[in-house]
Amino acid sequence: MAIEIERKFLLASDTWRSAVHASTRIAQGYLSTEPTRTVRVRLKGAAGFLTIKGKNEGIARAEFEYPIPAADAEALLALCPNVLDKTRHLVTVGTHLWEIDEFHGDNAGLIVAEIELEAFNSTFEQPDWLGVEVSDDPRYYNSALSERPYCRW
């Protein structure tokens, strides 16, 4: 079982854009958004994934992710009541990879930077474009954004 330790931040500026080394369009939906687990289907470019995540314990939770055929991902996305549309930009700062999600559709205008860490107490370089931390704000969970998008806040 893998444990995901992730921190999320809003952005203070768009200077991160000049450091992007890859970008991918992502469609993702949720087959289940129970408090104790989420079941997500994702189409990332031409690759499909099915992910089960356990209950959040602070900034950590169990995560199981499996590749699936793109056609299966498309069929499962059709079963989801709402599908998130976002572009994921990758930026490396020091030894860490930042995933910066720029949302589209009903979540347009929202940009969130995420970093996955090895341990709770891991240190990392905080770039000047990093803003307020929102790791503990459930409104910024992707599963929550699929049910109550940013445009309705």
Query: Which residue of the set 30, 140, 141, 150 is catalytic?
Result: 30
Q: Is 66 a catalytic residue?
A: no
Contact 52, 149 (CB under 8 A): no
Q: How far apart are CA 75 and CA 55, in angstroms?
A: 26
Q: Residue written as tokens 């059709």?
A: 78
Q: 42-78 burial, b for 16+ CB within 10 Å, e for fewer?
A: bbbeeebbbbebbebeebebebeeeebeeeebeebbe
The catalytic site residues sit at: 30
